[in-house]
Amino acid sequence: MENPENLYPVDEELQKFIDYRKRSGTIWRGVFLMSLFVAILVLIVLMLNIINDAFGLVALENEVDPHSLVTGYQENTMVSMPNTFASTNHAALAAVIQQNETGIGFVGHAHYQTNADDLRLIAVDGQFPTAETVADGSYPFARPLYIYTALDTLQSEPAVAGYFRFYLENANNSGGELGYFLADETLMADQINLIDTLAGGPQALDSLGGNLALSGSSSLYPLSRQMLLDFRQAGFGGDISIEQIGSEAGIEAFCRGDIQVLNASRPMTVAEAATCQRNRVNPVEIAVGLDALAIVSHPSLDFLESVSLKEMGQIFAAMNYWDEIDPSYPVEPIVRAVPGEGSGSLELLSGSMFSTIGLENLSGAAYAEIIRENLGRGRGRALERDQRFLAEGFIFDSQTAFNGACASAEPPTGCAQPARDRDNLLDLIEQEIIVPQIQQTWPLYDSIFNRQAIVAEASRKYPDAIVEFKSWLNPDFLVNPQSSEAELAGVRTAIWGTVMVVATTFLFSFPVGVGAAIYLEEYADSTKWYNKIIQTNISNLAGVPSIIYGMLGLTVFVRLLLPLTSGEMFGRVAEGTDPSGRTVISAGLTLGLLILPIIIINAQEALRAVPNSMRRAGMGLGATKWQTTWSHVLPAALPGILTGTILAMSRAVGETAPLIVVGASTVIRTDPTFFSRFTVLPIQIFQWTSRPQPEFQNLAAAAIIVLLLILLTLNASAVILRNRYSTSS
């Protein structure tokens, strides 16, 4: 017989053999690591995909620019302040300031120039209007000036073409003296070429027939007037006239075809140009120079050297006495002269002066005022009856009409409710007046790495739109109900639906499932054939496709148990409506059936894991089976039972198919009750993903994140419960 030791490898051979065994272990370790990587990779890709859709840039086009609401409100406030004189005529404004010792106001720089002896120029943020500050934009109240005429007029009336050419050639000579800031020489030359192209070459001035009638901006008045006078001096023989009615009114009249040559202190907006086109007026726009709006005061107000934009807001739109601005100032009323409504100057002024004020900075009263100015009367009345805008008085309705409505058989909700608060008014302005419309959305990845390209694309396709970063997952998304407007849609009703359905599911399946498990584990004789069949059956039920449970739920809960699930038995069906079994209760019970086998199997596992010594200890003391089970076996099994139950609940939260069969609705705008129609998060996600508009894909991604968070919370609570119960024993 051989030495038994020689039958095993020794020395070097032994070392090799050990290395070999270790190597095969290493290979398996690598395989398992790869599996882990694949799993993690899939998970990361999935999450990135969702996050990519849930955040990103959007091109947002407002029906009304919110800032214009602010400036509009502030303009109204400014013009209606006491001791305020508003006019489109800058000469009149200058006169008011000259005549009042505590006067302050705005005039075109040209007008200041002509009255420089009687007016005191005040700097804005330390900047006086000079050629440099206007050109580089550091003086805020500067803008280009334009003259307009219709293309037809330009081509058919030689006097107009001649005047335009004369204007462009000479404006820079006279403009400086008049207090204007000069336009770029090349620009002027280019525009002369344009006139020649459109209207033919220059003609002798004395041969030009016809008359010239100018109207519009008061800021441009001195220059255009001077040009007219010079034009006649140079030989033009027709009649000349010029009026100052303000830019806005001027543009409006021009687009109706009522004005031959228009002076404007701002360019036409896209909307105004469109109106012109509709009236077959093709505007030709010629820039003739730059103007600055000067802030001037009576010479005696020598304590004012320079003001900030914020101080200007106080001076012109808030305070009434000088000492309210600064206690060192005299206790004198502020007398104000501001450009009248409809002038380009007022627009320029308010655009800069109130640029730092956002819509959200305004008061509730201001919101009510904005609603009064911007909301249609019919809609306003309807909203006012839903809930009043003001605690005292009405905006759209009248006290008598409102009282009448409240006395009727079906009083509107506004009769009982307090007036809307500030936040409510702000929401209303956003939804009813601003009406943000998403034109296009971009995923997060593009938004980060292609931002420039996106901004360029958006400004080309949607010139009026704002491109901003939007998190589709935001507080509003959580509290808003479902809506057909992607901007306003939220998941509140879906979250409530999920919570209530899952609560029903839990209340049904936890007691039933744990009870069944206790019977099967503790009482049933597992050797008996019928118990074996039940056990096998339960295991198989756990593998039945969920849609089949949906069919079961539809037949049993929705149809067969209609009186119970519709709430008819409890008098919960409104009179005149048909009872419907497609309720939260039906859905909860259906999901309850679906997860019942899972709960039973998990609970059985947990009970089986309780050592038998525990049962024997109890029984050995003379305890009954139930006493032992209740006092010792169940507490020991509880962590396992709870973990299994919560994991089953997670499954229920994520189920979609059976609920579609049971009849979950997709559009639910009111919070559900147990006997109402309902929607749940997965159904909401399913509905959004199946819609063609891209922004609903973003909403779906956000809703998926909400759903995942709910699931994570459930799973985390399972872990916490398990740890807590298992350490306490």
Partner 1 sequence: MSDSNDSTNIAVQAKDVSVYYGDFRAVKNINLDVARNKITAFIGPSGCGKSTLLRAFNRMNDLIPISRMDGEIVYRGKNLYDADVDPVEVRRRIGMVFQKPNPFPKSIYENIAWGARINGYKGNMDELVEESLRSAAIWDEVKDKLDQSGLSLSGGQQQRLCIARTVAVKPEIILMDEPCSALDPIATLKIEELMRQLQEQYTIIIVTHNMQQAARSSDYTAFLNMDTTDRSGYMVEFSETSAMFTNPQNQQTEEYITGRFG
Among 200, 299, 563, 620, binds partner 1 (CB under 8 A): 620
Which one of the spans 54-62, 266-274, 425-433, 631-639 is the region binding partner 1 (CB under 8 A)? 631-639
Query: Least distance to partner 1 from the beta carbon of 620, Å?
Result: 4
Question: Under the phi-then-psi rule, with left for phi > 0, alpha for psi from -120 to 50, and beta for the rest, what region is 56?
Answer: left
Query: Least distance to partner 1 from the beta carbon of 646, Å?
Result: 22
Instruction: Determine the Cα–Cα distance for residues 32 and 398; give it in Å rounded to an integer.
Output: 77
Among 356, 631, 693, 713, binds partner 1 (CB under 8 A): 631
Query: Least distance to partner 1 from the beta carbon of 560, Å?
Result: 39
**Alpha-helix residue ranges (DSSP H) falling in 609-674:** 612-620, 625-628, 634-654, 657-662
Measuring CA to CA, which residue among 584, 717, 606 is closest to residue 659?
584
Query: Least distance to partner 1 from the beta carbon of 642, Å?
Result: 16
The radius of gyration of the chain's CA atoms, rounded to the nearest angstrom, is: 40
Query: Least distance to partner 1 from the beta carbon of 627, Å?
Result: 5
End-to-end CA distance of the chain: 59
The residues in 496-535 that bind partner 1, with binding defined as CB under 8 A, are 525-527
Instruction: Determine the Cα–Cα distance for residues 574 and 565; give it in Å rounded to an integer.
Output: 14
Nearer to partner 1, 405 or 619 (CB): 619
Nearer to partner 1, 2 or 525 (CB): 525
CB 586 within 8 A of CB 558: yes
Nearer to partner 1, 320 or 624 (CB): 624
Mask of contacts with partner 1, 255-294, x by CB under 8 A?
A: ----------------------------------------
Question: Under the phi-then-psi rule, with left for phi > 0, alpha for psi from -120 to 50, and beta for the rest, what region is 480?
Answer: beta
Query: Least distance to partner 1 from the beta carbon of 616, Å?
Result: 6
- Cβ count near 424 (within 10 Å): 14
Residue type for 578, please? D
Instruction: Determine the Cα–Cα distance for residues 129 and 137; give it in Å rounded to an integer.
Output: 10
Query: Least distance to partner 1 from the beta carbon of 611, Å?
Result: 8
Among 403, 627, 670, 723, binds partner 1 (CB under 8 A): 627
Strand partners, 547: none
Which one of the spans 103-111, 264-272, 382-390, 628-636 is the region binding partner 1 (CB under 8 A)? 628-636
Among 4, 378, 622, 692, binds partner 1 (CB under 8 A): 622
Query: Least distance to partner 1 from the beta carbon of 639, Å?
Result: 12
Strand partners, 124: 127, 307
Nearer to partner 1, 468 or 525 (CB): 525
Which one of the spans 52-60, 158-166, 508-516, 626-634 is the region binding partner 1 (CB under 8 A)? 626-634
Q: Structure tokens of 124?
A: 């804005």
Instruction: Determine the Cα–Cα distance for residues 181 and 472; give it in Å rounded to an integer.
Output: 48
CB 347 within 8 A of CB 373: no
Query: Least distance to partner 1 from the beta carbon of 683, Å?
Result: 44
Among 319, 405, 623, 667, binds partner 1 (CB under 8 A): 623
Query: Least distance to partner 1 from the beta carbon of 632, Å?
Result: 6
Query: Least distance to partner 1 from the beta carbon of 516, Å?
Result: 19
- Please give the distance of CA 360 from its chain centroid, rounded to a whole number: 13
**∠ CA 452-457-461, rounded to 5°:** 150
Torsion of CA 575, 581, 587, 591, to 10 degrees: 150
Measuring CA to CA, which residue among 261, 219, 465, 501 is closest to residue 345?
219
Exposed (0-12), middle (13-18) or buried (19+): which is 573, by Cβ within 10 Å? middle
723 part of the interface to partner 1, by CB under 8 A: no
Q: Structure tokens of 244?
A: 């100052």
621 part of the interface to partner 1, by CB under 8 A: yes
Nearer to partner 1, 288 or 517 (CB): 517
435 CB-side CA count, 13 A: 6
Which one of the spans 90-98, 251-259, 387-395, 624-632 is the region binding partner 1 (CB under 8 A)? 624-632
The residues in 560-619 that bind partner 1, with binding defined as CB under 8 A, are 611, 613-619
Query: Least distance to partner 1 from the beta carbon of 526, Å?
Result: 7
Query: Least distance to partner 1 from the beta carbon of 518, Å?
Result: 16
Measuring CA to CA, which residue among 110, 327, 315, 137 is closest to residue 219?
110
* Number of amino acids touching partner 1 (CB under 8 A): 22
636 part of the interface to partner 1, by CB under 8 A: yes
Among 210, 635, 654, 694, binds partner 1 (CB under 8 A): 635
The contacts of residue 492 (CB under 8 Å, 6+ apart) are 478, 479, 480, 481, 671
624 part of the interface to partner 1, by CB under 8 A: yes
Which one of the spans 290-298, 479-487, 500-508, 630-638 is the region binding partner 1 (CB under 8 A)? 630-638
CB 171 within 8 A of CB 178: no
Nearer to partner 1, 377 or 625 (CB): 625
Nearer to partner 1, 400 or 527 (CB): 527
161 part of the interface to partner 1, by CB under 8 A: no
Query: Least distance to partner 1 from the beta carbon of 533, Å?
Result: 17
Nearer to partner 1, 9 or 611 (CB): 611
DSSP state, residue 268: P
CA distances 399 to 394, 405, 685, Å, are: 7, 10, 46
By CB under 8 A, name the binding residues for partner 1.
525-527, 611, 613-624, 627, 631-632, 635-636, 729
